[in-house]
Amino acid sequence: MHIGIAGVGRMGAALALRLMEVGHILTVWNRSPEKIAPLREAGAAVADTPKALASSVDVIVTILTNAEALAAVYEGPAGILAADIKGKLVIEMSTVQPADEVALAAKVKAGGAAFVECPVGGTTGPARQGKLLGLAGGDADDFARARPLLDQMCRRVEHLGPVGAGASMKLAINLPLIVAYQALGEAYTLCRHLGLDNKALMELFSDTSGAPNVLKVRGPAIADALSGNPAPPAFDIDNIRKDLRTMLAEAKVRGAALPLVERTLAIFDEAARDGWGKRDGSALPAYWPGRQKGS
C-alpha cells in the first residue's frame, strides 16, 4: 500500500519507519525539511507539498503538533484538501480537541475521502515496534477500512465511537500520565535523603498500590534523570504543556473544572521557563526537588 505521512517529527518519523519495515511504500512531507533526511535515506519518497503528497498516495496519515498545524497542512492551495482525495483514506493522529477533528472530518468527507481519527498512547519506542494504543473515532465502515493499517502500528486499537471520541479519550489518558510525573517528583523529595539507589527506588515505588503505570515503561528513565542522566526527549515538557492547555480548553467546552491540571500546568510552565522545555517528561521528577525553597 502507498501511504503518505504529513508531519514527521519524532512520532511521525517513528511511524514512517515502522510502516516501511512492514512493507508499505512511503511518501512523506514535513514543514522542516531537515527532519526528512533520515527517512529519505531509509527509502521514503519526499513530497514538495501536502497537496502533492495527498495526490500520490492511497492513504494519508497526519500527525501534527496542534490545531493550527492541522489547518496549515489541510487548508490552502498547497494543502491536502486542495488535492483530489476522492476514494482515499485519511487517518488523523494528532492530539487536539474533539471539535477540531469533527470539523476536519466534515471537510475531508466533503472531498470524497474516508476519515478516521486515531490519536495514540505511547512514544517513539512503541511506535517503532508497532505497540501503540490506538484510540479511534469514526464511522464503522471507515474504521473497518483503516483497521488493518492501525493494527500494524498498534498493539491494541479501540473504536470508541464517532469522530471526536478518540480525541476525547486521548486527552483523558494523558492527564494521569502527566500528573504522575509531578507526583513522583514530590514523592522523591520525601525520601531522597535516604540515599537509596534511584533505580531501586523506582522499583520499590512500582511495587506499591499507588504506583502509576508509567513506572513500568519509564521507571528506568526517571531513575536516570534523578541521577543526572536524562533520557532523550520522546514526549517533551513543551509538548506536555500543549496537551495540558488542550485539556483545559476542552474542559471549558464541557463546563468542567480541572484544578489538578491547572496546577500541574503552572509547574510545567515553570520548568520550561527554567530551560527544561525540550527535556523528556520523565525528567520532571528531577526538576521538582531542585526548585528553590518557597518557589
Nearest one of 92, 58, 214, 267 to 163, comparing CA atoms = 92
> Does residue 71 sit within a domain?
yes
At 253, give phi and psi (nearest 5°): -60, -40
| CB contact at 8 A, 66 and 57 | no
Q: Cβ–Cβ contacts within 10 Å for residue 82, how many?
A: 18
> Does residue 295 sit within a domain?
no
Please say which residue of 138, 162, 186 terminates a domain.
162
User: CA-to-CA distance for 64 and 90, rounded, in angstroms?
Assistant: 14
Position 113 scores a pLDDT of 99
- Confidence band for 288, pLDDT divided at 50, 70 and 90: confident
Q: Which carries the bigger pLDDT value, residue 291 or residue 137?
A: 137
Least confident of 55-64, 165-174, 214-223: 214-223
Nearest one of 84, 101, 95 to 142, comparing CA atoms = 101
CATH of the domain at 152: 3.40.50.720
Nearest one of 123, 183, 194, 211 to 202, comparing CA atoms = 211
User: CA-to-CA distance for 117 and 103, rounded, in angstroms?
Assistant: 12
Residue 71 sits in the same domain as residue 204: no
Query: Tell me: the pLDDT tens digits for 7-52?
Result: 999 999 999 999 999 999 999 999 988 889 999 999 999 999 999 9
User: CA-to-CA distance for 153 and 25, rounded, in angstroms?
Assistant: 15
Position 291 scores a pLDDT of 72
Residue 100 sits in the same domain as residue 240: no
The domain of 208 spans 168-290
> Does residue 74 sit within a domain?
yes
Residue 205 sits in the same domain as residue 145: no
Number of domains, the chain: 2
Least confident of 208-212, 241-245, 259-263: 208-212
> Does residue 282 sit within a domain?
yes
Residue 295 has pLDDT above 60, yes or no: no
Amino acid, res. 269: D
pTM: 0.94
Buried b (16+ CB within 10 A) or exposed e, 211-236: bbebbeebbebbbbbbeeebbebbbb
Residue 62 has pLDDT above 90, yes or no: yes
CATH of the domain at 286: 1.10.1040.10
Cell numbers for 48, please give them. Answer: 514538495
Residue 82 sits in the same domain as residue 51: yes
Position 250 scores a pLDDT of 98
Q: Cβ–Cβ contacts within 10 Å for residue 274, how many?
A: 13
| CB contact at 8 A, 240 and 281 | yes
Please say which residue of 146, 162, 178 terminates a domain.
162
User: CA-to-CA distance for 293 and 136, rounded, in angstroms?
Assistant: 44
Instruction: Classify residue 32 as exposed, middle or buried by CB count within 10 Å of its CB (0-12, 13-18, 19+).
Output: exposed
> Does residue 242 sit within a domain?
yes
Residue 131 sits in the same domain as residue 172: no
Residue 154 sits in the same domain as residue 213: no
Query: Tell me: the pLDDT tens digits for 169-210?
Result: 999 999 999 999 999 999 999 999 999 999 999 999 999 999
> Does residue 276 sit within a domain?
yes
Position 293 scores a pLDDT of 46
Residue 52 sits in the same domain as residue 135: yes
Residue 15 sits in the same domain as residue 112: yes
Q: Cβ–Cβ contacts within 10 Å for residue 63, how many?
A: 26
Query: Tell me: the pLDDT tens digits for 216-241?
Result: 989 999 999 999 999 999 999 999 99
| CB contact at 8 A, 93 and 61 | yes
Position 34 scores a pLDDT of 84
Cell numbers for 14, please give them. Answer: 517513528
Quick one: average pLDDT of 248-255? 98
- Confidence band for 104, pLDDT divided at 50, 70 and 90: very high
Average pLDDT, the chain: 96
Residue 292 has pLDDT above 60, yes or no: no
Please say which residue of 162, 183, 199 terminates a domain.
162
At 247, give phi and psi (nearest 5°): -60, -45
Residue 18 sits in the same domain as residue 153: yes
> Does residue 43 sit within a domain?
yes
> Does residue 58 sit within a domain?
yes
Position 289 scores a pLDDT of 81
Position 294 scores a pLDDT of 42
HSE, side-chain direction, 13 A CA sphere, residue 293: 0
Q: 9: Cβ–Cβ under 8 A, 6 or more apart, which residues?
A: 30, 35, 63, 65
Residue 10 sits in the same domain as residue 103: yes
Residue 96 sits in the same domain as residue 32: yes
Residue 242 sits in the same domain as residue 100: no
